[in-house]
Amino acid sequence: PERCVAWPTFYCITIDNLIPNDQYTVKIKAKSLVYPTGGSASSVVTNFNDGFADKPENLRTTNVGPTYISLEWDIPWIHNGVLQSFIVNIEEISSKDINKCCESKPDVEIPITEELPSYNCTIDDLKPGSTYSIGVLSKTLSYYGLTSKIHVTTLPDSAAIIRTIDHNQEVFEGGNTNLRCVLPSSSEDELFNLVGSRAILTCNVDATAIRDRIKLTWLRCNQLSLSEEHDIIDNMLVLRNVQKSDQGLYNCIGIESDGTVVFSQSITLRVVEPPRIVLNPTRQVVKRGDNAQIICTADGDQPITITWSKLSSRSLPPTVQTSGGYLRFNGITEQDAGRYLCKAANNIGEIESVAEVLVTDAPIIRAIDNNQEVFEGGNTNLRCVLPRSSEQYTVKWSRSRSPLPYDSQLRGDVLSLRNLRLNDTDRYLCKVDSPYGSTTDYIDLRVL
């Protein structure tokens, strides 16, 4: 097998010519040069038919501007069929102008031509300063899956305009004059950008100022230096990959050829960060009765609120305890198995991710009639039974003090002994091994 393209930490193999609706048991075991026959097998029982796909994992924004939102999401963990496309739904839920709220945009369908770890799209033609509810769902040949949703607010349109007063002035030699520029109100000179995005600070001066060869210079307050990742293009300061350290007050200064400062515009850059989630572990197998936990770590602008829920259930199981980013299982049971969703939200947005918990147990083997007596020359059947399970286990037999009689026969969970002799008196052990542990029982046989 080769590593999966969509899940690089796992291995994938394609099984062809399966019949829909039939039940199959798929077994996998690892081999090595040291153990060429392989170790214990893991198996899964499933029906191969189309169904509802899981919702896309880890829906998140990668860039947000005044009129666009860029999204990215991971491939669903379970497809239940062949993925055909993703459906992106966009709905405006708040606006700076209440009279123009709220618009619904047509759904966007993104065809899937190959399985990849993640997919992306950019939604354009949005309104500045509006909040949108965005949902992404998976579509198979026959079904629409569950929807992942986030709320995102576009950045406000904060381009400030500098306007010069009296474009043409005449002054006698030796006289004085005042050059005056009008700035918009300070409430408009504020720019919001997401961490890692590109910030464009615009110093808009009219054509007269450009014609008069006024030089534009950008400075930060408190003698802070501009980021190394910046460009100055005409009247714009472009900051690439903005970080929290880049936020603050920036000044656009207009300087004439003789060094005279004729205007100054201030723009405050605020760098905001929506939540980011790291789940540990994302998938775990726990033995029944053990304790386990899932840790959901969220970074971003504080305060961040973390909530937990169990998929396909209205509430968390009573044995589950939550404390912030911790979800704990005390004495886990089969009813606790499932997929748990961690949702983190702050003032910028929200994000969610899913962790899977599997509960299993070592198979319990039980001897039928622990004490048996048989006359010399007679026959007997020793039997140990296993509970019903989708897993197929093999019962192993042995004796305490010597090897099994040479003419003994094994048939499933039964050990048949023929023509018994006095020295066949012994304790006979039945054992079953599994990836989750081994269990043993015994039968004491006495030959009279």
Please compute the mean of the pLDDT values over residues 288-302 and round it to a whole number.
Answer: 92
pLDDT grade, residue 184 (50/70/90)?
very low
Please compute the mean of the pLDDT values over residues 404-424 and round it to a whole number.
Answer: 89
pLDDT grade, residue 344 (50/70/90)?
very high
Q: Residue 159: its pLDDT value, please?
A: 40
pLDDT tops 80 at residue 1: no
Q: Residue 168: its pLDDT value, please?
A: 53
Residues 60 and 128 in one domain: yes
Question: Is residue 176 situated within a structural domain?
Answer: no
Last residue of a domain, one of 110, 136, 154: 154
pLDDT tops 70 at residue 116: yes
Residue 56's domain comprises: 52-154
Residues 146 and 60 in one domain: yes
Answer whether 295's CB lies under 8 Å from 279's CB.
yes
Q: Residue 350: its pLDDT value, please?
A: 87
Please compute the mean of the pLDDT values over residues 338-355 and round it to a whole number.
Answer: 90
Give the best-scoring range by mean pLDDT among 88-92, 196-200, 340-344. 340-344
Q: Is the peptide bond before 66 cis (omega within 30 degrees of 0)?
A: no
Q: Residue 88: its pLDDT value, please?
A: 94
Question: Is residue 436 situated within a structural domain?
Answer: yes
Tens-digit pLDDT profile for residues 96-114: 564 566 677 889 999 999 8
Tens-digit pLDDT profile for residues 162-176: 444 454 555 556 666
Question: Is residue 15 situated within a structural domain?
Answer: no
Last residue of a domain, one of 331, 360, 389: 360
Residues 140 and 207 in one domain: no
Sequence-ordered list of residues with C-beta below 8 angstroms from that of 181, at least 6 positions apart, any chain: 162, 163, 164, 165, 254, 262, 263
Residues 257 and 231 in one domain: yes
Q: Three-state SS for 98? A: helix
Question: Is residue 138 situated within a structural domain?
Answer: yes
* Residue 99, token pair as written in the block: 């009279």
Q: Which residue has the higher pLDDT, 425 or 223?
A: 425
Question: Is residue 31 situated within a structural domain?
Answer: no
* Residue 59, token pair as written in the block: 């829906």
Question: Is residue 104 situated within a structural domain?
Answer: yes
Q: Residue 365: its pLDDT value, please?
A: 84
Please compute the mean of the pLDDT values over residues 372-384 and round it to a whole number.
Answer: 92
Residue 386 belongs to a domain with what CATH number? 2.60.40.10
Lowest mean pLDDT among 204-208, 290-294, 344-348: 204-208
Question: Is residue 394 situated within a structural domain?
Answer: yes
Tens-digit pLDDT profile for residues 63-79: 888 889 999 999 998 87
Question: Judging by DSSP bridges, how do beta strands 283-287 and 350-360 pair with one another?
Answer: parallel
Q: Residue 183: its pLDDT value, please?
A: 42
Average pLDDT over the chain, rounded to whole? 82
Q: Residue 50: its pLDDT value, please?
A: 66
pLDDT grade, residue 180 (50/70/90)?
very low
Sequence-ordered list of residues with C-beta below 8 angstroms from that of 59, at least 6 positions apart, any chain: 71, 72, 73, 134, 136, 148, 149, 150, 351, 352
Residues 136 and 58 in one domain: yes
pLDDT grade, residue 308 (50/70/90)?
very high
Residues 141 and 206 in one domain: no
Q: Residue 174: its pLDDT value, please?
A: 64
Tens-digit pLDDT profile for residues 12-56: 888 888 887 777 888 888 888 878 887 788 887 776 666 678 889
Q: Tell me the one-letter amino acid at 105.
A: K
pLDDT grade, residue 87 (50/70/90)?
very high
Q: Tell me the one-letter amino acid at 226.
A: L
Question: Is residue 240 situated within a structural domain?
Answer: yes
pLDDT tops 80 at residue 315: yes
Distances (CA, A) of 402 to 216, 409, 423, 427: 96, 16, 10, 10
DSSP 52: P
pLDDT tops 70 at residue 410: yes
Residues 349 and 373 in one domain: no
Answer whether 132's CB lies under 8 Å from 92's CB.
yes
pLDDT tops 60 at residue 210: no
What dihedral do alpha carbons 198, 199, 204, 207 form, nearest 10°? -20
pLDDT tops 60 at residue 206: no
Please compute the mean of the pLDDT values over residues 429-436 and round it to a whole number.
Answer: 82
Q: Residue 325: its pLDDT value, please?
A: 95
Last residue of a domain, one of 360, 387, 408: 360
Residues 345 and 391 in one domain: no
Residues 239 and 309 in one domain: no
Q: Three-state SS for 443? A: strand
Residues 412 and 380 in one domain: yes
Residues 331 and 372 in one domain: no
Please compute the mean of the pLDDT values over residues 143-171 and round it to a whole number.
Answer: 65
Percent of the chain with pLDDT over 90: 30
Residues 355 and 380 in one domain: no
Query: For the chain, what is the domain count?
Result: 4
